[in-house]
Amino acid sequence: MIKFFLKTYGCQANEADSAAISIYLTGLNCKEVYSETEADLIIVNTCAIREKAEEKFFSYLGMLNKKIKVNKPYLKTIVIGCIATYKKDEIYKRFDNVNFVFGAKEDLNNLKVVLSDFIVELESIKNIYHSENSKRDTGFLNLGGFKTAPKELKRSLINIMTGCNNYCSYCIVPFTKGREKSFSAFQILQKIEQDIKAGAKEVTLLGQNVNSYKDPESGTGFFELLESVAKIEGEFWVRFLSPHPKDMTKEVLQVMARYPEKLCAYVHHPLQSGSNKILQAMNRTYTVEQFLEQIDWMKTILPEITITTDIIVAFPGETNQNFEQTMRVIEAVRFDGIFPFIYSARKYTKALSLKDNCSKDEKIKRINELIKKQQDITFEQNSLKMGKVLRVLVEKRMANGRLLARTQGNIRVFLDGDDSLIGSFVHVKVEKTRRSDLLGVLV
């Protein structure tokens, strides 16, 4: 039996693709393993969003070449995802252990042929190899030692669209993923129904620009799809990632308010900068004022909403004053959490040609200031939940013995309880609030 290992970098769109590949290979009678040393086939799903993400991937490939491939000459490695789109030649040239590179612009369905060919090839090579090297390869005979996936909440990650037409001036995604393409609503709904029947308790609708979704058959938009998902029978939560402020309408929020049992009162609303000058240079197409107005809608239509955001510091041309403007928006909005990034220059992007005259020290100073400020705000936001009874979804057992659950807003809650609660909705009373999570007791 062929064993495969999936290494996934990047966003949840990549997680969704990897999950689909895993299901496909399992259907071909292969077995997913959770360590590289056990695998006959390794698939690396890559992310190009920032330089660091790329560096991580390249050192991982180097490690595979040096440590894994040498002990298993027949090992096959496939590289897919965003780096694979534009560094195909470099990957083939630098790494002789890579057998196939498949870019993120291509239709993932076309990978099926390659995968099934590789499986057939691997099966015959492995047979020969086994009879010749039976001593060296005892790992495969170690039938009792395989790892089983831990008992965990079943999640359904659904790519409803892919690609991006926005061309934010710093971002490589339109170049790695290509133009926006929405998938059929009929097929999306069918897949979600299947996953719910199979026990999924949380559905995440995904897209680089999820709320610009448009059904290719009927032309209906994101809020209509969201409503159709909410109408599917069963007990489950729905989230979506990542929306763009330019497509955030009141209708989306109103649908969320109409189906509070299903649609999580949670929005990730990426601001990027609190300076209109920088937003314009980033080609974000909204102003700080428009963004703040949308935050007002959210808090009015969904009073219990959790809001998170992305911030880029030290975009070329960002002055200290511009950075202070971002800090003031952070203070005013009081996000429940932020994902802060230092600007990273990326190939193909418009911002690449802009002069970066911020020193490294200054960049680090800014991001640390932002992180520090947000930590305080997150702590205060969490404190507002003290004593409240919240509906949470139990995810898994943690190493510390406690159960991990999440609120609608994706905030972590630790509680004591039985394994049978994993994958179910329970109510907890918040007994303690901390910097990044809550402690609760079952009620």
Closest CA relative to residue 183, chosen from 263, 118, 246, 109: 109
Give per-residue burial for 49-58: e unless 16+ CB within 10 Å, then b. bbeebbeebb
What would the x/- binding string for ligand SF4 be over residues 128 to 167, using CB under 6 A? ------------------------------------x-xx
Closest CA relative to residue 441, chosen from 397, 399, 405: 405
Q: Rule CB under 6 A: is residue 244 a binding residue for ligand SF4?
A: yes
Shortest distance (Å) from residue 208 CB to ligand SF4: 4
Taking CB under 6 A as the criterion, the residue among 10, 81, 103, 174 binding ligand SF4 is 174
Q: Which of residues 246-305 bind ligand SAH (CB under 6 A)?
A: 270, 272
Taking CB under 6 A as the criterion, the residue among 74, 92, 167, 341 binding ligand SAH is 341
- Sequence-ordered list of residues with C-beta below 8 angstroms from that of 117, at least 6 positions apart, any chain: none
Q: Rule CB under 6 A: is residue 240 a binding residue for ligand SAH?
A: no
Say how far apart CA 65 and CA 77 lie, in whole Å: 10
Q: Rule CB under 6 A: is residue 390 a binding residue for ligand SAH?
A: no
Q: Which does 82 bind (CB under 5 to 8 A by kind): ligand SF4, ligand SAH, ligand F3S, none?
A: ligand F3S
Q: Rule CB under 6 A: is residue 122 a binding residue for ligand SF4?
A: no
Shortest distance (Å) from residue 251 CB to ligand SF4: 20
Q: Which does 367 bind (CB under 5 to 8 A by kind): ligand SF4, ligand F3S, ligand SAH, none?
A: none
Between strands 41-46 and 76-81, the pairing is parallel
Q: Which of residues 180-239 bind ligand SF4 (CB under 6 A)?
A: 208-209
Say how far apart CA 322 and CA 71 lie, in whole Å: 53
- Sequence-ordered list of residues with C-beta below 8 angstroms from that of 389, at least 6 positions apart, any chain: 427, 428, 429, 430, 443
Say how far apart CA 253 and CA 266 lie, in whole Å: 10
Our CA angle for 389, 392, 396, nearest 5°, is 135
Q: Is residue 7 within 8 Å of 13, Cβ to Cβ?
A: no
Q: Rule CB under 6 A: is residue 242 a binding residue for ligand SAH?
A: yes
Q: Is residue 393 within 8 Å of 421, Cβ to Cβ?
A: no
Q: Which does 310 bind (CB under 5 to 8 A by kind): ligand SAH, ligand SF4, ligand F3S, none?
A: ligand SAH
| Residues contacting ligand SAH: total by CB under 6 A | 17
The H or E element that residue 89 is part of is: helix 88-94
Q: Is residue 83 within 8 Å of 48, Cβ to Cβ?
A: yes
Helix boundaries (H) for 156-266 = 173-177, 185-197, 222-230, 250-258
Scanning 56-64, 170-178, 221-229, 299-307 for contacts with ligand SAH by CB under 6 A, the matching segment is 170-178
Q: Rule CB under 6 A: is residue 343 a binding residue for ligand SAH?
A: yes
Q: Which does 10 bind (CB under 5 to 8 A by kind): ligand SF4, ligand SAH, ligand F3S, none?
A: ligand F3S
Q: Which of residues 35-94 bind ligand SAH (CB under 6 A)?
A: 49-50
Residue spans of beta strands (DSSP E) within 207-279: 237-241, 266-268
Is the CB of 60 or the CB of 297 nearer to ligand F3S? 60
Scanning 147-155, 273-281, 299-307, 340-348 for contacts with ligand SAH by CB under 6 A, the matching segment is 340-348
Query: Which residues lie near ligand SAH (CB under 6 A)?
Result: 49-50, 170-171, 173, 208-209, 242, 244, 270, 272, 310, 312, 341, 343-344, 346
Chain residues in the site for ligand SF4 (CB under 6 A)? 164, 166-168, 171, 173-174, 208-209, 244
